[in-house]
Chains A and B, each alone.
Chain A
Amino acid sequence: MAQQPALVSMAEQFSGLPMEALIGAPLMAAAKANSDMGAAQVDFLLKTCFAYDKEADTYTPTMIKMILKRGVLVPVDPTADPPVDPEIKVVETEFDLPILTILPLNSLAVDEVNISFHMEVQSSFSETDSDERTEALAAEASWSAKVGLGPFSAKVKGSVSYNSESTTSHETYYEKSNSAEYNVTVHAGQLPLPKGVNTIIEAFTKAIEPVTMPVFVGDSPG
């Protein structure tokens, strides 16, 4: 019985794979994507949230105007006749805020890279199991005769041979396949803002001095 050929060894197949490139390339791509996204964010911050003074080579934060409203209780004149009810007056105050503090800045980054393999190795075997049998049959018959005629005599010898040959062969086609997978999944998500950027925003936020406008209620400053 013909022995089943062994499948191609997967270990052998993988040993030929450029594993460094397979794993390293997506990782490098992710790192590069992160770096690009970081650079884009810095560019955005500088161009959108700051005004650049070429001469002084300084960046000044772009400010936006906010309106703060609060209710102020209007003092009542106790001598008023008829007595008036206390009144709450809404007072508007303007304050400036760096635009940087109100933009929902978050770092967009590749936060997950999954690499899995999908490799299909097909090993097939064509086995020619040539079952060859050669049969040779030889039959030999010989005869001899003496022919005599006068002074002449001749000996004639003859032979007949029989030769038979038969050949049979069969072929076995044997195929099996192994497969492995190689998939690369890259996921980009929001990461918390880097501490450095947070610190800058905090600094700006803390630097907002509440500018309280003098509130005038009637004729007297509140």
Chain B
Amino acid sequence: MNINITCPHCQSRIYVDPAELIRGRQFCCSGCAVSVSLAVESQAIVKQSMQKLESMQQPG
């Protein structure tokens, strides 16, 4: 599931796939030429949080 964050440069929406973000993928802003990615030092905490979220959303 994609989420969107606001581009700090032009305030447009940047659509981000969190799973891909953890893998280091860059996402381009639709309004300007910037691209965003997750810093290496934050990859672990995002991965951990995503796993917790997925286990919580597992029905049953």
Contact = CB atoms under 8 A, between A and B. Distances in A.
Interface of A: 40-41, 44, 48-49, 62, 64-71, 93-95, 97, 99, 101-106, 108, 188, 190, 205-206, 208-211
Given A48-B52, A69-B35, A188-B59, A103 B5 contact: no
A49 B6 CA distance: 18
A162 to B, nearest CB: 84
Given A62-B45, A65-B39, 9 more contacts: A48-B52, A64-B46, A66-B37, A70-B33, A99-B46, A101-B3, A103-B3, A103-B18, A210-B9
21 contacts: A44-B56, A48-B49, A48-B53, A64-B45, A66-B42, A67-B39, A68-B9, A68-B35, A69-B34, A70-B32, A70-B35, A94-B39, A101-B5, A103-B3, A103-B18, A104-B1, A104-B53, A108-B57, A190-B57, A205-B5, A211-B8
B49 A103 contact: yes
Given A44-B53, A104-B1, A188-B59, A70 B9 contact: yes
Interface residues of B, number: 30
Interface of B: 1-3, 5-6, 8-9, 16, 18, 21, 26, 32-39, 41-42, 45-46, 49-50, 52-53, 56-57, 59
Contact of A44 (B33, B36, B52): B52
Which of A49, A69, A93, A95 has the most chain B CB atoms closer than 10 A to its own CB? A69
A9 B2 CA distance: 56
Contacts of A208: 6, 8
A205 B6 contact: yes
A192 B10 CA distance: 27
B2 A108 contact: no
Given A69-B37, A210-B8, A105 B46 contact: no
